[in-house]
Structure 1
């Protein structure tokens, strides 16, 4: 944005320089042209006066020495004709009556017209200045004098003036840049703080930490007002999310007691229920178990979102070995082969017990959706600056369109509605991983099933730190 503002400011400066410089440059060229014209008109008029007597006496050669001396000193050619436009005398052989430019000027002079100024003198126009003055004797035109003047010296002066103006314009442009930079920085400082605060707010909201205010009292008043409004909005968002998380946690915790009492009462009714109502009793028991599982996951989600504990080093390979051993009993009950492929001494940044929470949620899902006598593989490896943890099953998987929604809260695939679950497992995994600066993605591997890939920032701990 700073570059765009600088471009706008410099564009305005350039427009002003062009608007002032072009007329000034043309004015300089016009002044130089006028000076040259007036000087040459005076010389041409003087020669017209000198030619009066030689023309009356029909002795034009009397003026030749004067013309030649003038040509030698100033490099200007002079030509004298009679009233019939016949050549009489010239300063040198380079000037001819038949030249179109000279012929036009002679025609006007013999008609009694005096020379008129021409357009501005441009540095690239090397055309000589041609002036013709009538020779009058007693008010009658008796001939004409033509001068052909080179314009090199005048054009060089115009070019020098233009160069000075161009250098001055460049200096003004550089000065404009030097003045615009601090102004642009001062203007955009609140915007930069807002941009940084937005990133911090997202990280704070995800991790459950208080949102750091933007603050600052520099910049335009409108942007300072915007920063204050942003601080108020961020504080409100933080308060609302904190209240929401507290409500979820409190509600989940408070519901556990009546739910536990309900399960006890339903359990006490076992054996005392009429035969026609046994199925209803069993269904009620299953629903209480499902409600208890949902409450546990809600509490886990609330802890994952509300915890402000910073990520700590976690030994991923050890956590994989521990949690896979704990789930082997569940896998063995359905004849599911549960295996691991991990690199030794894998350390990553994660919330306390975060790797275990992620593995429990992923293994629960993998074993829940895997068919009997299938396999689930848990792998962990270091790739670049990340530790990649993958849980791959051979269940029904998801469609490509469903992969993006799989980590949303309470979302479940329409094809999985007959399998118990709350739709919070992957959402909890995503929250825990994002708090550590990692990411979660779902892949559809060859051979069917689903692969959940978790990436966590890797740590390279030395021997002392391992100990």
Structure 2
């Protein structure tokens, strides 16, 4: 937008410069032509008056002293023609060697003068037009044309003046462009400053709101009053969205926490009924109730973890990802040995420090290793890779389970979503959603892919601390 606004300003300046400069340049050229024409026309008419008697007496040489003096002073060649169009007296000027009195540019005005017509102004005097100014005036005696006087004037001096004026106008136009650009850049920046702040704030709003951080206000900066008002409206909207999302988080956390106690009591009571229900249909219902209570308890734990993950948008703590992986793998190796699954850790790179919310790495690894152990068959392995490349640290967890279909990879991060092929596996469908929240709060990226050999690989990339 800034480029477009500056282009509009410069276009308007260009139209103004050309709209004023071109007419002014043509006026200057026409004025120079008119001044030179009138000056030479007066002299030519005076010599035509002086030539009456010498031509009548057939003594054109009587004009030589006046014509020669005029040529010496002004450098203008003067030629006198009789009524037959023959040059009878010529006083050469400084450029006489380059002037042919029989040239078309001279014979034409001579014929007009002998026909009784006076010279007319020519076109504009442009710097690139090197033709001399040729004027012819008839010599009249008793109303009859007795000859003609022609002046041939070099226009170099006049054209030089016009050229200088053109250069001044060009310099003025360039200066106007430079000044317009110098003024347009800060003015356009001032106009667009609220727009840029709004654009930046819009991009950061989701991360700020989801991360529990206050959105940066945009209505306090400079700019036009209308855009500042728009910024203040945006601030109120962001505050409302943040408040609504925070209320939602508090509700989910409070509801999950409050439900855990009665649910725990319910599980205990169902456990106490074991052995006291002798009717087989009732015993089956009791077992189904215990399973449902356990599943509900698992969902509530997932909701609490999700609420904590969404509320972890505060300060990020530096941690050594290799140490965090080693600690969690040591705990989960017991589960892996019980299921005949090896947990293999591969760390490459000297410094694999990243910044995460408190207990963020623990929550991520617990969720991913729990999922991997659920789906990985015995006799296989789960590989955890930690690597650094440039300014990024990568953490990936790869299992050898059934994996997902390609069309399911994008949905795997949705809350409570589970593949139709895994409905018989215990779980709440919140694990990857929790991981995604923590990765986003850590300014990282998460990707799922299906590696060769089967299974599912989850790769997270974090900025190095």
The two structures have a TM-score, normalised by structure 2, of 0.91
Q: Secondary structure in 1 aligned to 2:410?
A: helix
The answer to whether residue 16 in structure 2 is matched with residue 47 in structure 1 is no
Structure 1 384/154 Cα, relative in aligned 2: closer, same or farther at 3 Å? same
Match of 2:58 in 1: 58
Deviations 1:271-296, CA, capped at 9 Å, x for gaps: 41533455554343323222221211
CA distance in 1 between counterparts of 2:214 and 2:101 reads 96
Q: Residue 340 of structure 1 corresponds to which residue in structure 2?
A: 345
Q: Once superposed, what is the RMSD of the aligned Cα atoms?
A: 2.4
Mark the runs of 5 or more structure 2 residues left unpaired by the alignment: none
Q: CA deviation at 1:23?
A: 0.9
Deviates more, 1:18-27 or 1:248-257: 248-257
Could you tell me which residue of structure 1 aligns to residue 30 of structure 2? 30
After superposition, what is the alpha-carbon deviation per residue over 1:134-178, rounded to whole angstroms, capped at 9, x for unaligned? 111111112222222111110100111122222233333333334
Deviates more, 1:344-353 or 1:114-123: 344-353
SS in 1 for 2:27: helix
1:301 aligns with 2:306: yes
Structure 1 distance, partners of 2:83, 2:424, is 120
What are the Cα deviations for residues 227-255 of structure 1, in whole angstroms up to 9, with x where unaligned? Answer: 11011101101011101111211222233
1:102 Cα deviation (Å)?
Answer: 1.8
Choose the corresponding residue for 1:169, options 137, 148, 173: 173
Deviates more, 1:403-412 or 1:40-49: 403-412
Secondary structure, aligned partner of 1:367: helix
Task: Select which of 350, 353, 361 maps to 2:359.
Answer: 353
Distance in 2 of aligned mates of 1:32 and 1:238: 74
* C-alpha deviation, 1:68, in angstroms: 4.1
Deviations 1:249-273 (A, max 9, x none): 1222233233323333433343415
Residue-by-residue CA offset, 1:292-317 (whole Å, 9 max, x unaligned): 21211111111111234311122322
User: Which residue of structure 2 aligns with residue 107 of structure 1?
Assistant: 111
Among 375, 378, 385, the alignment partner of 1:372 is: 378
Displacement after TM superposition at 1:345 (Å): 6.5
User: In the TM superposition, what are the counterparts of 1:49-448 in structure 2 within 5 Å?
Assistant: 49-92=49-92, 94-216=98-220, 218-271=222-275, 272=277, 274-276=279-281, 278-343=283-348, 346-448=352-454
Residue 459 of structure 2 is aligned to residue 453 of structure 1: yes
Paired residue secondary structure (1:135): strand
Distance in 1, matches of 2:50 and 2:421, equals 116
Q: What is the alpha-carbon distance in structure 1 between the residues aligned to residue 59 and residue 418 of structure 2?
A: 120
8 Å CA contact retained: 1:190, 1:216? no
Change beyond 3 A, Cα 1:145–1:273 = farther
Contact 1:350 1:456 in 2 (8 A): no
Alignment partner of 2:377: what SS? coil
For residues 39 and 427 of structure 2, the distance between their equivalents in structure 1, rounded to whole angstroms, comes to: 104
Give deviations 1:6-60, integer Å, cap 9, x for gaps.
3332332222122111111111111111111111111111221122112212233
Kindly provide the CA deviation profile for residues 56-97 of structure 1, in whole angstroms up to 9, marking residues without a partner as x: 122333334543443343332222222232333322365444
CA distance in 1, matches of 2:243, 2:136: 93
Measured in 2, the distance between the counterparts of 1:403 and 1:103 equals 94
**Separation in structure 1 between the aligned mates of residue 157 and residue 129 of structure 2, nearest angstrom:** 12
Unaligned runs of 5+ in 1: 460-467
Alpha-carbon separation, structure 2, partners of 1:11 and 1:332: 75
Tell me how far apart the structure 1 counterparts of residues 140 and 441 of structure 2 sit (CA, whole Å). Answer: 103
In 2: Cα distance, 1:390 partner to 1:375 partner: 14
Of stretches 276-285 and 39-48 in structure 1, the one that deviates more from structure 2 is 276-285
